[in-house]
Structure 1
Amino acid sequence: MQGASQKKLSARVKRIGGQVAGIERMLEERRYCVDILNQISAVRSALDALGIELLTRHLETCVLGHGSNSEHESAKPMTQQELLDEVKTALSRFLK
């Protein structure tokens, strides 16, 4: 992953961490349940957006770019069927 892209993802994860910490504070402060549920919903949405970004990047670099030396440095050599199976597994876990 490129430097600017990595920084963008890291910033997003830190924001999500702040939202989760906010939920903890809300619980400690005995805030109204619906307000806490709304914050939980916002965290889920943020995590979904992060997951979509990562899945998209994986498809672009590791699947479509497979064998072109543009894939992630940790990507192992795989056949097209193995790549497809990996994407299916990742999607099924992500969509649960």
Structure 2
Amino acid sequence: MNSESQKRLTARVKRIAGQVTGIERMLAERRYCVDILNQIAAVRSALDALGVELLTRHLETCVLGHGSGSEHESAAPMSQEQLLAEVKTALGRFLK
């Protein structure tokens, strides 16, 4: 992952952390339940978007680019069957 992508992902995670902190503050302030639920929905949406971006990058670099040197430095050498199993597991966890 290049440094620009890393910066964008880090900024996205920081925004999500800020949203979660906002929920904590809303609870402490005893804000209206529907307002809090709306904020929770926004956090879920932001996390889903982050997950889709990471999954897309994984598919592009670690799966399609497997063996080309573009995969993550921590990626273990795997067969196509192992890569497919890993993606199925990751998708199963992400989509729960």
Q: TM-score, normalised by structure 2?
A: 1.00
1:11-50 alignment runs, 5 A limit: 11-50=11-50
State the alpha-carbon separation in 2 of the partners of residues 54 and 79 from structure 1: 21
The answer to whether residue 67 in structure 2 is matched with residue 67 in structure 1 is yes
Letter in 2 for 1:60: E
Share of identical aligned residues, percent?
82
- Unpaired runs of 5+ residues, structure 1, are none
Question: Post-superposition shift, 1:11?
Answer: 0.1
Instruction: Give 1:3's aligned residue.
Output: 3
* RMSD of aligned alpha carbons: 0.2
CA deviation profile, 1:34-62 (whole Å, cap 9, x unmatched):
00000000000000000000000000000
Question: Post-superposition shift, 1:91?
Answer: 0.1
Secondary structure in 2 matching 1:36? helix
Question: Post-superposition shift, 1:84?
Answer: 0.1
CA deviation profile, 1:65-91 (whole Å, cap 9, x unmatched):
000000000001000000000000000
Secondary structure in 2 matching 1:70? coil
Q: TM-score, normalised by structure 1?
A: 1.00
- Unpaired runs of 5+ residues, structure 2, are none
State the alpha-carbon separation in 2 of the partners of residues 7 and 73 from structure 1: 18
State the alpha-carbon separation in 2 of the partners of residues 70 and 53 from structure 1: 17
Structure 1 moving runs of 4+ over 4 Å: none
State the alpha-carbon separation in 2 of the partners of residues 24 and 76 from structure 1: 39
Letter in 1 for 2:17: G
